[in-house]
Amino acid sequence: MAEPKSLMWFRSDLRTADNTALAAAGRAGAVVAVYVVTPGQWREHDWAAVKVDFHVRTLARLSRDLAALNIPLLIRRVDRFDGVPTLLLALAREHGCTRLHTNREYEVNEARRDDAVASAFEKVGLAAYLHHDQTVLAPDELSTQAGNFYTVFTPFKRAWIRRLDEHGLGASGPSLRPAPVKQSPTGIEPDPVPERIAGFESTVDRALWPAGEGAAADRLGAFIGRGIDRYDDERDRAAADGTSTLSPYLACGSISARQCLTAAAIANGLMLENPKHLGSTRWISELVWREFYRHVMVGFPRVSMNRPFQPAAARIRWRDDPEGFKAWCDGRTGFPIVDAGMRQLLATGWMHNRLRMITAMFLTKDLLVDWRLGERHFMRHLVDGDLAQNNGGWQWSASTGTDAAPYFRVFNPVSQSRKVDPDGEFIRRWVPELASVDGKAIHEPSKLPPLMRARIEYPEPIVDHAKARLRVLAAFEAVRR
């Protein structure tokens, strides 16, 4: 009798280790793997070219890792999600797969696609198993005493830690899923992984983002080994290499949240919160923020549908300012820290988290431009583009979201610049026309003496921050009233 065979459908979980669906498929028998390229849907969802490039390079690594286990990775293509159920069902029948295993995705369109796939399989008598894998705790696992989804981070974090402690996971982190054992050859040849996807040509240096779960593990190990102790002190310093830069690997799933938490808990003295290890404690808190934004996206699907979390925020009268928006996109606002961050994004596909807040708050508060325009611009350029994280960050900055910054919190871009880049090192790297400006003057070059200012080819500020602050406060106050 032939060994039962499973179809393993990869998406944002491009790894062999600690992969819930892959581990389950391996336990059930032989495995055939598939990845479906959906370029039309990617364009509709604003996938960045650098993200697609990183994704396909990660797929190539995954294919080699799976081949070492005698698991063939097949590559199929349909333009949009609505073609996926028919494609996967035909593939399962072609290769005699009696069941499908995959890890759930939680965005609205992705969740509907997954449900449609499961329904198509079940209608013809084939099993479909949709596993939880993207976060340490499933997004719907925690609820308030009233049975609702959390809308404030701090009580969510307390409940999250409490639940891990209840499961006995607080000391060493969650249990990790083993990679499948090497199986007998299936006789099915893996498909070649395309080097590029037409329409998603990236100009970002590939060396910045080496792909695959081996590269992700190396990056985590390096951060734990020499960076995590300094994380609390350096995470907001723009010029410092003070963050893990693991977000692209988490977004494509070449490393799991469980793997990150386990490593951080060990570095934290086998604790989730430890006052003696502020760096690892703080980084674990950032992992919980990632969990929180997934939790919000499941509990309040409107945030996946281009709508503010706070219904009243839909009444905010955003300004139509195409010239200001373009200056912001191009890094030509006349505010050096804003421009440096935006230019870093364009050049590398990534931006320091503190700079994401500074640049997002400048667009929404100083320019009073709709946060959705900025959210889309980020998604179209981020190597770590992730709807839950990007939307959560933008709505926090715009004061339209859950657990958002109060509407009267308006970052001063000059004082923020002095705080996060006190020596101007980051600004000089990304705004080279200011490289010759000495000392603290680099944070506000418009205040330089006229003759000195005239020698610098750098724009004047496109907005008066003090006046802009009053304008945005009035706009929010009108909605609040």
Which among 283, 289, 328, 350 is annotated as catalytic? 289
Rounded distance, CA 65 to CA 254, Å?
Answer: 12
Q: What is the rounded CA–CA span in Å between residue 71 and residue 31?
A: 6
Residue tagged active-site, from 70, 234, 353, 433: 353
Annotated catalytic residue 9: no
Catalytic residue among 394, 396, 412, 430: 394
- Residue 89 and residue 122 in contact, taking contact as beta carbons nearer than 8 Å: no
* Residue 481: CB atoms within 10 Å: 5
Q: DSSP string of 278-327?
A: HHHHHHHHHHHHHHHHHHHHHH-GGGGTT--SSGGGGG------HHHHHH
* Known active-site residue 122: no
* Residues 418/331, Cβ–Cβ less than 8 Å: no
Give the integer Cα–Cα distance in Å for 361 and 204.
26
What is the DSSP secondary structure assignment for residue 239, as one 8-state letter?
Answer: T
- For residue 203, CA distances in Å to 50, 54, 206, 314, 437 come to 8, 12, 9, 36, 30
Q: Is 160 a known active-site residue? A: no
DSSP 377: H
Over the Cα atoms of the chain, what is R_g? 24
**453 Cβ partners below 8 Å, 6+ apart?**
445, 446
Which amino acid is residue 422, in one-letter code? Answer: P
Q: Which of 105, 234, 318, 433 is catalytic?
A: 318
**What backbone torsions phi and psi does residue 386 show, to the nearest 5 degrees?**
-145, 120
Query: Backbone phi, then psi, for 101, in 5-degree steps?
Result: -120, 135
C-beta neighbour count of 429 within 10 angstroms = 15
CB atoms inside a 10 Å sphere around CB 386: 23
Catalytic residue, candidates 42, 283, 371, 430: 371
DSSP-derived 3-state class of residue 36: strand
Q: Tokens standing for 2?
A: 């032939």
- 247 SS3 class: helix
- DSSP element (H, E) containing 77: strand 73-77
Distance CA(481)–CA(478), nearest Å, equals 5
318 classed as catalytic: yes
- The separation between CA 119 and the C-alpha centre of its own chain, rounded to angstroms, equals 29
Catalytic residues: 286, 289, 318, 353, 371, 394
